[in-house]
Structure formats: structure tokens, C-alpha cells
Chains A and B, each alone.
Chain A
Amino acid sequence: MNRRNIPSLIIIISTAIAMASGFLVLGGYFFAQNTNGQASLLSDIRLTLLNWAIILAGFAIFIGIINLSQVHFKKIQNKQKGAFYSLLLIVSLAATFLFGLFKPGQVEIVFTTVQLPVEASLMALLAITLTYASIRLLRRRLNLLSVIFLVTALLILLGTAPLPFVGDIPGLSDWVRPFIAQVMAAAGARGILIGVALGTLTTGLRILFGSDRPYGGNK
């Protein structure tokens, strides 16, 4: 066989395996029971394939961490901007790894005392970022939809958080806010979710047919 044909052959084989696996999992989902009410063969195959996928995803995390380290080692090596933070990341990664190795029962201390507070601060930062972005929205896109967006956000905020010394605003807290949140927003959200579900279905079908191949290289 010509060596040049090997990548094409790999693509054909990987596509065939992916399509077969996809159809088997889909079949196992729809025909999970046989007429006796017991789990069907397709259902067993589906569970086996999904278990394999979960094991592979576990290995992928290991590869991902190697990739993360590579990116930051490269930054340190090339003395790029932010190399100090990369060094901090590598040291923290190694320290957490060693801590987990020698004190496996207490590794969650790292997450509760470092990771969680840092993420909570990012969440707080997000509140400021969103407020600032909402103010800039009118400057960036001055149209009717942006005005409706901001007015709705303001009404929901006023209706949700009671004002100091005033408390709940009559009419706003007990009528306007529930109407917007439970009728208008819920109706709009359902419409968007139906659209997302249809998009998910067609994306899945394109991958099943091998039109989109996020594996083995697209050609």
C-alpha cells in the first residue's frame, strides 16, 4: 500500500467506527427494552460503549493536564508576558499533586481553602463586569431590543431586591416581576430551548453521517 494513502485509510476507519458506535448508542437508547420488558442487547451495547467513553474521558483529563503544563512551561521558557503566573501554576500543580499523593484523604482542603474562595471572588468580579457591560450596551447597540433588555433587567432587580426603608414595591414585586419572569421570560425561554434542541438534533445527525468529523482529521 502507498504510504500516502495511510492517513486517508485512518480517516475512513475512524469514521466507520464512530458512525457505527453512534448508531448503536442511538439504537440502544430508543430500543432499550425488548417485548418481555427486559434490557435489550442494544441497551447492553450502549452501556458498554458509554462506559468505555467515560474511561477514555478520564484518560483525556490526564492528557489535558500534560497539555496545560506544556503551554505554561513554554511560556516560562520563552519568558513571555505572564511567565511568573505560569511558574505559579506549575508550582501549585506540583504541590497539589504531591499533597494528593501523600495525604489523599485531605486533598479537598486545597479546593475548599484556595479554589473555592478564588472562584467566589471571580463571581463577585463578574457582578461588576455585568453591571458595567449593561451600561455600555446602549452605547454599543442602541436599538429597541437593547432598551427592552435593560428596562426588563431593571424591573426584575427592583422587584426582587426590596429597597431599604421601603421594602417591597407594591405592584412591582407582587405583579410585574412574577408576570415578566413566569409568563414572558418562560415563554421566550421555551422557544429558545426548542430551537436549541432542534439544533442539537441536527448537529448530532451530521456527526452520525460523518459530515462533521471532529476526530481523525477533517478533510
Chain B
Amino acid sequence: MLNSKFLENKKKLNRLFFYGVPDLLLQRTPGIYPHFELLQPMIPCNAILRLSFLYISITFSVFILHAQDGKQLFSTKCASCHNIFKDLTGPKLGGVLEKEKYGGDPKKTYEWIRNSTSLVNSDPYYSALKNQWGSVMTAFPDLKDAEIDAIWDYINKTYAAGNKPKPAGDDTAKDDLKKANQNSVIFGIITLILAIIALILAYVNSNLKKMSDDAEGIIRPEPVPFYKNKFYIALLSVLLFVVGGYLLAKGAIGLGRQTNYQPEQPIYYSHKVHAGINQINCLYCHSSAWESKHASIPSVNVCMNCHKAIQAYEKGPEIIDENGNKIDGTAEIQKLYKYAGFDPKNAAKWDPSKAKPIEWVRIHNLPDHVYFNHAQHVRVGKIQCQTCHGEITNMHEVKQVSELSMGWCINCHRQTKVDFNYSEGKGNQFYSIYEKFHNEIKKGKMDSITVSHIGGLECQKCHY
């Protein structure tokens, strides 16, 4: 028991001093990779649990597409222009099928979704739609019947349930964090109270002793006042040294880190309005996160895809910034138009080639010697954007949530399981070459493969 606790503490200490060391106090403290792995407890493999999981997944894979897939398709293909409950660039989709045109039959929408332009030209209903909404819907010629059905299935179910989906986010993690914070506060207060009680008791004790000595007539030297007591002074200086050293080290480590950095941007762009309230998929704007190392900020023409039609901020809730000022969304859209060279009154004459780029202030800065690839994390690792960027859907202006330190990266690499192909046809086929791990999993020696197992803690994963 004691031993394991000791190991646990040592691990924490190690992390603090080895991996927490930052850019300035030079990333030059030793940290040799295999050591910590040895300290990691193995997660016992529960065969029954795994079997039942297998069963469930087999059962579900029988239905080729269901509402769950519809949700994903909806968010990647539709959500940038449509919401289920309200009008955006395009009309709200909840209840659309009940219109006379469709009579509740999703099949009638196939042609529209795959080739909208031809219908606009031939069908007066759709040409009326075009006039009403100002533009023709982007066509999705690749969508299959079953996929469109799945999307409608999702829309209908969600609409019927009437529950607006919560902005995607890692609520549980946040709750855990809150709980942990509360706990430590409670423990701190209890410790403090106990320490005071101990002090009082000690004082009472010494007084009582003095009284009893006086009563018994034993003469003792006058007690030294505590501020002259060498023991107390020594204790205090050791404490000061430890606390001061800790604070200094922590301060030094924190140099160059920008947690909570929230600079003022040239346009008050609200992620909450876009990604939160309007549910626009992150990848719609940050599309290169899927392909490239950069997530990249969308170019002006991407903004204008929607804002050609959405010219004012009217229906959403009031935007209040950090200082309590009210932000006029429509005015901010006007700023965009200035960059784009767009005149809302003369929309047809807009020349996108005259647009000027917007100079955003970069929030997440990694040092030059760090190689970070978004595609590796988002596409291969299937990591949610929120894991590192926090609850973007609740932020108006973005601030840096994670400290982006090496210790932070390493910790995640230790804990995160890779999309290992534990069985045929599952996970990423890239990992099928790792024969040794497959054998160990088969034998039950290993339960899961974390990034660190496949070299995720090695220097040249990120530094070259």
C-alpha cells in the first residue's frame, strides 16, 4: 500500500520536474522515456466485459445506417447551412417533410439533394424556394439513398423529441474537474482548521503544564516566545524556502505559456454563435485540420459563403463580452463586408478577388521546434477539438484553455488509447502491423494500446 502510494507520488513529482519544464528554463532537463512506463499500472482486462461489448457492437453493426450516422452526416453535410429548429442560411429542416410537396416521404428529396440546380430550373416549387432564400442549395451528388434516409431519420427523431441538442463538449470532464477543485478546497479548509486546533491544543497544553508546575511548585525556566523559538524559526525558513522555491520554479515554468490568452481580434467573431448556437461543424471552416498539420483560419471567401445571405445578427441571444459590453453582431458582420469588399445592397456585383485578408491574432502558439499535426489528432486519433481547445461552443471570443506545455502533451499521450484494430475490420488498419501487441492482447496480457506504447513519448514524434 505504502509502496504504491510512494510510486504514485514519485510519478507526480517526476512529471512536475521532468516534463513540466518549459521553453525558457530550457527544455534540457533529462527525462528518459522508458522509466515512467514501468510505473504505469496495468489495467486489468475484464474478459466478460469485452465479450459483452463485442456482442453489442455486432448487434448494432447489423443496421447499416441508423440515426447515429444520420447525426454525423447531418453535422458534416447540412449543419453549416441548416438547423433543425430554426432558419439559418437555409430553412429549418424539422418538419420540412410534412409539407405537401413531400408528404412525409424522404424519397422525394433525393433528387433535390443530389442535383438542386436542375430542379430549380424545372420545378416552380423549387424556383420559388430559390427566390425566397436567395441562393440554390449546394448539391451533394455523392450522397446515397440510405444516407439521405439516415439524415431524415435523425432530423425527424430529433425534431419529434423537441430537444435541441446540447453543444458538443466534454461536460463530464469539466464536472470532474469542478468536483476535484471543490474537494481540494474542502480538504484545504479542513487541514487549516485541524492545524489551528493543533496549535491551540499545544498552547493549552503548555499553559496547563505551566499551571500544574506552578501548583506543584516546580520551577521551570520562562518559556521562550514562539517568535524567538529556534525550532519555529527553522521550521518557518524551511517552509519559506520550499514554498518560495516552488513558486519560483512554477513561475519560471510558466514563462512563455499563455493559458487564458484571449487577445482582441479585428472582428468580434463569436464561436458561440457559430459553433454553439448554430451548430456549424468545426471542420466546415477549419477544413484543413482534416488533411494537414494546420487547422488554418478560414479565408474570407469561406465566411462569405454564408454571410452573403446572413447579413444581420437578429435572431440570436444578446452577445455580451467579457467586460459586460453589448456587442452588435450586425456591426461585426459589416466589418467582414469591409474586408470582403462586399456591398449588401449590391450583392450581385461582388468581386471576391478584391477581398483583403483579415489579420487575426494568433492565440495558440507553439515554439518553432515543436511539430504538431492536426490531421494526426483529429482524423487519425479522432480527438474532439474541445479536448485541447476547451468549450469553444461556449466562448464568444476564443481563449487558450490548455497550457500547451510538453507535460500536457505527454500526459495525454500516456493516457489516450489509439484507434487500435483490436479485431479484424475494427480500428485503423495502420496498426495491424504491430504483431507483438496483437499477440499480447490476445493472450490477455494487455488491455489497450496507448499512444505511448507505439512511441508516442519519443522525442522525434514532435521535435525534428
Whether A associates with B in a native complex is no
B: residues with CB less than 8 A from A are: none
Report which A residues bind B (CB closer than 8 A): none
